[in-house]
Amino acid sequence: MDQSKAGFLSMPQKLSDRVSAIRRSGLLDSSGREQFHHLTEHVRVALQVPVAIISIVDEDRQVFAGHCGLPAPWDSVGETPLTHSFCQHVVERAAILKVNDADLHELVNSNHAIADLGVRAYLGVPIALPTGELVGALAAIDTTPHQWTEHDRKVLQSLALVVEREISVGVSELKYRRLFEDMQEGYYIAEAVRDAAGDVADIRFEEVNPAFERLLGLDANAVLGHCLGDLMPELCEEMLPAVRRVLDTGEPLLSVSAKAINENRFENRIRRLEGDRVASLFTDVTQRQLNEEQQRFLHQEMMHRVKNTMAVVSAVVTASLRNAPSLEKASEIIASRIEAMSRTQTLITRQEGDTDFAEVVREAIAPHIDDERRLTIQGPSIAISAEQAVGLSLAIYELSTNAAKYGALGSDEGEISIDWNVGQDRTFEFRWKERNGPRVSPPLRSGFGSKLTDRIVPRYFKGSGETAYLPEGVEYVLRGITQTASAEPFDAG
C-alpha cells in the first residue's frame, strides 16, 4: 500500500463516518465547485502565493472544491489521487500542516505532488462540516520554498472559518460574497482605465466588500462603476503607480499609504487578475504604525537616558571628589547621591496615584547637586498625575544632565534657580534658570534632548516648552495644565 494512504486508512470507522458525511453534503459534486473559486483567489491575494486550493479528501482521492493557479491538466481534472495529496495529512492529524520546503520535509518528501504539481511549500488548515466531520483543507501553495509566518497562519485560519460557514449553507448556495461580509480587511476588484497613449490613468471599481465601505467611509452604491479619481483624487498620485507596476510586471505589490485616509493609514496588497484588472486587500495599520513609532521613541529615549546616566554618575563622582575633605567622605557622598539617583528613577517609572509637583522637582534634581547653596527652589505644592510626574522628571533630568556637562553645574560658581506657579484654572508655568556658569552659546544642531524638553514633555501637560540659550545661562520655561489621576489622561504620544 502507498505510504501516503497507509497512515490515513488506519482509522476505518472514523474514515467511514467522515466520507459518508462528505458524500451526503454534496461537496464532491462538480456543479458546486466553482462557488469556491473566489475564496481561493482571495487566499492567493492575501498570502501572495501562486496556488490556493480547497481540497475535499475522499476515500481514495482529493477533489478540489475550489482552486486557483493549479497547473494543467489538474486544473481541468479538478482532483488527484491521494498519492498527490498533502491535504490528507491535515485531515489525518486534524491539525495545521506547514511545509516550508517539501524536499526537506520527512512527511511529504516522497509525495508525487512535488514532481507532478510543482508543490514545494504548503500551508494547510482543516475545514469541517457544521456537524464536526473534517472534510479536507484550505491550503496555500508555493512553487518555491516559502517561510510561512504566524500572520499567514492567522489569515488562512480566518478564511477557513469563512469556508466552513459557506459550506454550512449548502454547496449549491455558496457565494463568494459571504467571504466579503466576514472579512475585517477591505477588499476590492478594479479595472484599469487607460488614456489614449495606453497608460493607466485611473481605475474603476467593480467589486467592494463591506469592510471597504466601513474603512473608507464610502457607500458601495457610490463606489461601484466609479473611478478612484472621482471618489478620492488625492490618492491617484500614490495608488496609480502601484497599479501600473502590478499590471506591467504581473508581480504582486505591498504598499503602505503615505497619505492618511480619514486620519488612517492602510497597508495595501495588490495583485493582478485576468485582463486589465487588479484585486486589492487592504488593512488599517494606523495603530501598528503608532505602536512602532512609540517603540522607536522608547528605544531612543532609553539609549539617551543610559548615556545621560553615565554622564551624571561621572559628574557626581567628579563633584564629590572635588569638594569632599577626604576619600572616605567622598565615598559616602557618592554612594548617597547614586542612591538618590535610584530614587529618582523609581519616581520616573511610578505609574499609579498622584504626586506632589515639588517632590518631583526635588527628587529629580537631588542627585546632580553637590552643594545645596547653589540651588534655589520655590513654588507651591501641586498634585499631578503619575504620567505628568514622569514628564516633569524627564525634563528636570535632561536639564540637570546638560547643566552638569555644559552649564552651571559644571563649574564651582554655577547656580540654578527653579520656580513655578499655578492658577485657579490649573494652568502653571515652570521656570529653570542657570547663572554664573560657563558662557553659553546655542547648539549647532537640535538633538534628542531638545526634542524631549521642548516637544515631548509639554505633551504630558497639553502645553509648550521653550529653551533659551542666553550668554549668561540657559533658561527653560514649561507651560501647561496640571492634572490628577481622577481626570481623563492626556495623550503624550
SS3 state of residue 380: coil
Please tell me what DSSP assigns to residue 485: T
Q: Round to whole Å and give the CA distance between 179 and 38.
A: 9
CA-derived radius of gyration, the chain = 33
Q: Are 341 and 363 in contact (CB under 8 A)?
A: no
Q: Round to whole Å and give the CA distance between 135 and 377.
A: 76
Q: Round to whole Å and give the CA distance between 293 and 288.
A: 9
Name the helix (H) or strand (E) containing 117: none
- Burial of residue 203, with CB atoms counted within 10 A of its CB: 0-12 exposed, 13-18 middle, 19 or more buried: buried
The pTM of the whole model exceeds 0.75: no
Domains and CATH numbers, the chain: 3-182 (3.30.450.40), 186-284 (3.30.450.20), 289-481 (3.30.565.10)
User: Residue 459 CB: number of other CB atoms within 10 A?
Assistant: 16
Q: Round to whole Å and give the CA distance between 255 and 242.
A: 8
pLDDT in tens, the chain (493 residues): 343 433 443 444 445 788 888 887 778 875 445 567 888 999 999 999 999 999 999 989 999 988 999 999 998 888 999 999 999 999 999 999 999 999 999 999 999 999 999 999 999 999 998 888 899 999 999 999 999 999 999 999 999 998 888 887 664 454 455 455 667 788 888 999 999 888 999 999 988 888 888 788 888 888 888 898 888 888 888 888 888 999 989 898 887 765 656 667 777 888 999 888 999 888 777 677 667 777 777 677 677 666 656 665 665 576 556 656 778 877 866 675 566 556 656 665 554 567 889 988 888 888 778 788 889 999 999 988 877 887 788 788 788 888 888 898 888 889 999 999 999 899 999 999 999 999 988 888 777 667 778 887 888 899 999 999 999 999 999 999 998 865 544 444 4
3-state SS of 278-299 is EEEEEEECHHHHHHHHHHHHHH
Q: Round to whole Å and give the CA distance between 174 and 56.
A: 15
Q: Which of 454, 341, 351 is nearest to 400 (CA)?
A: 341
Q: Round to whole Å and give the CA distance between 142 and 52.
A: 9
